[in-house]
Each structure stands twice: as C-alpha cells, then as structure tokens.
Amino acid sequence: MKKALICGISGQDGSYLAKFLLDRGYEICGTSRDAQMSSFRNLVRLGIRDRVKLESMTLTDFRSVLQVLDKAQPYEVYNLGGQSSVGLSFNQPVETLDSIATGTLNLLEAIRFIGAPIKLYNAGSSECFGDTGGEAADENTPFRPRSPYGVAKAAAFWEVANYREAYGLFACSGILYNHESPLRPERFVTQKIVAAACRIAQGSPERLYLGNTSIQRDWGWAPEYIQGMYRILQQDAAEDYIIATGKTYKLQDFVVSVFEYLGLNWQDHVTTDESLYRPTDISISRGNPSKAKDKMGWEAQYDMHDVARMMVDARMNSEPTPA
C-alpha cells in the first residue's frame, strides 16, 4: 500500500486529493497547523474524515517537518500548504512568503536529509507568470509575478527546480491555473459570487459588490485538476507541468453564467466597488496545457460555464460534488 503525506489537507485541493488517493488504495496522512483543533469540515463533507491520519505540522518549522516526515514515512508528498489567497497576500506579504517559500524549502531539505526515495509534488501557480499580454503561458514562459502570492510561488518553484537538479530529488511543480469547487471558502471571488447569487435567488434583497470584473481567467474544475497532480508524480521523470483548460473568460462572464443559471439578470444585483480593486492585478491569464495532454494524457473536461453551474447546484442542493 502506497503512503502519501498531504500538507494542507484541510483545503479544497487537499481534501479532494485525499479522496482521490484513498479511492486508489493509498494510506493517507494529512497535516494542518493544529490537527487537534481544526474541524476538517471539507474532509467531513467528502465523507473521509475517519479514513485519514492527521498530524500537526508547521511548514515554517524545519524540526516539525522533519518529525512528521520521519513518522509518516510517505512514498509521495503533496505540498499544498501555505497562505492560499492572492488578495490576502497584499495584506499579509510576510506570512505569505514565509508559509510558501520557507515551507517549501523546509520540505525539500527534510526530504534530502532523510535520504528516502520520496516523490514531492509542489503546488505552483499561474500567478507566477503575471501578465503575458494575452498569450497562453507554457512551461518555458518567464515569470513576472504581480502579487506577493505570485512572488512566493515563484520562489518555491525555483527551490523545487534547484533541489531536483542539484540533489536528484524527484520533485515537481504543477503550475495550476484557477480551479474552483463548492469547497472554496467565500473569500475566493467565485464562491462569493455563487453564494450571493443563490441567496438572492432565494429572496435575499442584498447586492453583490465586486471589484474589477474585466479581468480574464482560465477557470477549471478542482476535482479533475487533482488528477493532474497525481499524474505528475506517476511519470518516469520529474518535470513541471501546466494544468489548465486553455480557455479564458472575463470575471463578468462567470457572474453572468451564475445569475442566468438561476434565472436572474446580474445587472439588477451587482455593483462595482473600486475599493475592492487590488494594488496590481493580472489582466489576462491563460495557460497552455499541451504538455500535460501530450505527456500525461491529462485534459480538462469542464470549462468555466460547467464550473459555474456545478457550484450553483451544490450550493442550492447542499449535496456532495463528484470527484
């Protein structure tokens, strides 16, 4: 039986990944900063809370990382921990850089120190690329991040590449574009939109306040992006891959899709609030997932409109979503 350690198991990606790996016969150990106090509500929602072992681990504390790795003795490690919000990173830049860049470095160094043949997946991000002038970024596109979050993810990416080249570690980064699901908290704009629209459809008189809705993003469905993560570690050689749909839509298109699906005119309920604009933002984000398709056979099956509908259905029906 393969063992996997998932750092940040309580989040959207960690929870879906745990379910995916459990269904494939893995033994799962998951970490959070305080496993005794965390509710792990996403694991509960997916019905797998009692099927995983949970450990407290602080990614910024090397000793903590080393102790958990030694105890779990995993075959695969998935680094999904760290501060996960682009918007919040402008308010918490030090915490963001520390939790992502230092946390990743501690994992890499601990794996090197232990000397076991552990495969490491690192959660990269499309935010590393910044603005690409509307061109679809591939694995060779230079990084020009425009947020503290993007800077931190870029640093972690190069740490992984360095340890792979210098020490021969099987360490890879999956450069994932925006991927959503009902497990997203409402601090993420897609879930904020879905939650407000559903309440309005049920009679709430509220208005939805949004920032810049002209930004364009490459949105995918989180449960199938998890499969891309898994496949990256099943390859013969350690390489980095972009996981994306290759299709880009405006945030306004997502808003329209959600409200129309609920039989509402979005313009009657949405207000632009310039105080919600970020200090710097990416105008157009688009990924080129050709390498993932050609080398791993991974290809997105759902686009933004599918994601919007599935998130609305889950919110209105309060039912678990397909993984």
Q: Measured between alpha carbons, how far is 130 from 147 in angstroms, rounded to an integer?
A: 8
Strand partners, 125: 176
Q: Give the pair of three-digit tokens for residue 6.
A: 């998932």
Catalytically annotated residue among 76, 127, 180, 224: 127
Q: Among this protein's residues, is 127 annotated catalytic?
A: yes
- Euclidean distance between CA atoms 167 and 97, whole angstroms: 24
CA angle 256, 262, 264 (to 5 degrees): 60
78, 149, 261, 302: the catalytic one is 149
CB 263: neighbour CB atoms within 10 A? 7
d(CA 283, CA 130): 9
Q: Which residues of 33-70 are buried (b: 16+ CB within 10 A; e: fewer)?
A: bebeebebebbebbebbeebebbebbbbebebbbebbe
Catalytic residue list contains 149: yes
Tokens of 296: 């791993």
Instruction: Walk across the sheet containing 241-243 and list its strands.
Output: 53-56, 27-32, 3-7, 76-79, 119-125, 170-176, 241-243
Catalytic-labelled residue, pool 10, 89, 99, 125: 125
- Is 125 among the catalytic positions? yes
Q: Nearest 5°: phi and psi at 290?
A: -60, -40
Task: Tell me the catalytic residues.
Answer: 125, 127, 149
